[in-house]
Amino acid sequence: MVLAKVIGIDLGTKSVKIYKKYKGVVLLENNIIAQQKRSKNIFAAGNKAYEMLERTPKDIFVSYPVRSGVIADFDNMVKLINWYLNKINCKKGLFSNNTAYISVPWDISEVEKRAIYDLINHSNASIKKIKIIDKPIAAALGADINVQSPEGNMIVDIGGDTTEISVVSLGGIVSSKLINIGGNHLDEAIINYTKKNKGILIGSRTAEVVKMNLSTAIETNIGSIKVFGRDLVTGLPKEFEINSLEVYYAIKEYLYSIIDTIKFILERTPPELSADIIEQGIYLTGGGALIEGLPELIYKETDLKVNCVEEPMNSVIRGIGKIVEKTNTYESLIVAPKAKKYKYS
């Protein structure tokens, strides 16, 4: 007899993380596909495809199938999920009665949520049960918050394409807002800054390196790095230096938009829960939580202390992992399905 497996999936805009019961995180890949333009066959997937970004010949096309937290390119996402599941040995025939726990943003439409069921049903994996978890709940669990208590907690999850700001209490979402601001927008802002102020065009991977090294919410110069770009006047490659103050100027507008949304959500939070949030502070998760000085800026603008979560990029998959390991304890956190024709459980 083949044993049933339980896995958890964090299907992010930028990356995919898969957790296997008793094993921990078994897959961490960029959620990106490189394919031949004509045949649409996979040329590379995951981290290998990311390495090809902006380096491919004309007949190879590289793209991200998840955009703004939802599946934007269904066919390619099916190809990728098959590739990921194959990589962790979760393909058809191998497991008889598998269950997958998958997180989705809260503030999206039912149709967008249902696409997750379609995705798994169209995949090669023999997953019988699909259980949906609200991403803010998973992020909160991953931040070691007791999500089932009556206490209110605010989670700010700054991801690749989106920031999801949510208040959770008693295992549910009290309020949440998903805004289209994430790491990709900061990369674009850095590209636009160097184009406008230095006359140099850089690629998105270089912009991400600049962001990871220098992104700051503090208006002071704390360091610089040298990178290559293309001089827009001569057309030739050029090495140039960029410092953290320049990166601050490039991204600050986005940071303030996130803070404005935090205030927006706070204004709409019932007073009892607001009191809890004031006492506990905000929890910052997602890759964007690594922006230098962001907790201090949020504190300055909102008067709320900010709790930094360890390895904030892994918060959601850590939370899903906790659910996968203790399915009975966390059964109440599973989102109730809305339509019948899908394989809900």
Ligand X SMILES: Nc1ncnc2c1ncn2[C@@H]1O[C@H](COP(=O)(O)OP(=O)(O)OP(=O)(O)O)[C@@H](O)[C@H]1O
**Alpha carbons 283 and 154: distance in angstroms, whole number:** 6
Q: Is 324 in the site for ligand X (CB under 6 A)?
A: no
Q: Is 8 in the site for ligand X (CB under 6 A)?
A: no
Q: Say if CB 138 and CB 324 are below 8 A apart.
A: no
- Residue 211, SS3 per DSSP: helix
Q: Is 261 in the site for ligand X (CB under 6 A)?
A: no
One-letter identity of residue 132: I
- Position among 115, 277, 291, 309 found at the interface with ligand X (CB under 6 A): 291
Residues 196-255 that bind ligand X (CB under 6 A): 208, 211-212, 215
What is the closest distance, in whole angstroms, from the C-beta atom of residue 45 to ligand X in the complex?
Answer: 15
What is the closest distance, in whole angstroms, from the C-beta atom of residue 328 to ligand X in the complex?
Answer: 27
Q: Measured between alpha carbons, how far is residue 149 from residues 30, 175, 276, 327 in Å?
A: 34, 16, 12, 17
Q: Is 287 in the site for ligand X (CB under 6 A)?
A: yes
Q: Is 176 in the site for ligand X (CB under 6 A)?
A: no
DSSP string, 117-171: HHHHHHSSS-EEEEEEEEHHHHHHHHTT--TTSS--EEEEEE-SS-EEEEEEETT
By CB under 6 A, how many residues form the interface with ligand X? 22
Q: What does DSSP say about strands 70-71 and 98-104: parallel, antiparallel, or unpaired?
A: unpaired
- Position among 65, 136, 288, 319 found at the interface with ligand X (CB under 6 A): 288
- Name the DSSP letter for residue 334: B
What is the closest distance, in whole angstroms, from the C-beta atom of residue 272 to ligand X in the complex?
Answer: 29
46 vs 151, which CB is nearer to ligand X?
Answer: 46
β-bridge partners, 226:
241
Q: Is 12 in the site for ligand X (CB under 6 A)?
A: yes
From the list 36-44, 106-114, 182-190, 199-207, the region that binds ligand X by CB under 6 A is: 182-190
From the list 33-41, 43-51, 147-155, 179-187, the region that binds ligand X by CB under 6 A is: 179-187
5 vs 135, which CB is nearer to ligand X?
Answer: 135
- Residue 102, SS3 per DSSP: strand
Annotated binding-site residue? 250:
no
Q: Measured between alpha carbons, how far is residue 307 from residues 145, 280, 298 in Å?
A: 11, 8, 11
14 vs 322, which CB is nearer to ligand X?
Answer: 14
Annotated binding-site residue? 49:
no
Q: Say if CB 87 and CB 81 are below 8 A apart.
A: no
184 vs 307, which CB is nearer to ligand X?
Answer: 184
100 vs 104, which CB is nearer to ligand X?
Answer: 104
- Position among 65, 69, 142, 152 found at the interface with ligand X (CB under 6 A): 69
Q: Is 286 in the site for ligand X (CB under 6 A)?
A: yes
From the list 36-44, 156-164, 236-244, 301-309, the region that binds ligand X by CB under 6 A is: 156-164
What is the closest distance, in whole angstroms, from the C-beta atom of residue 306 to ligand X in the complex?
Answer: 15
Q: By C-alpha distance, which of 26, 27, 57, 21 is closest to 45?
A: 27
**Alpha carbons 221 and 244: distance in angstroms, whole number:** 5
Exposed, middle or buried: residue 245 (CB in 10 Å: 0-12, 13-18, 19+)?
A: middle
What is the closest distance, in whole angstroms, from the C-beta atom of residue 74 to ligand X in the complex?
Answer: 16
DSSP string, 194-209: HHHHHSEE--HHHHHH
Annotation: binding site: 208-211, 287-290
Query: Which residues of this chain interact with ligand X, rule CB under 6 A?
Result: 12-15, 69, 159-162, 182-184, 208, 211-212, 215, 286-288, 290-291, 313
Residues making up the binding site for ATP: 208-211, 287-290
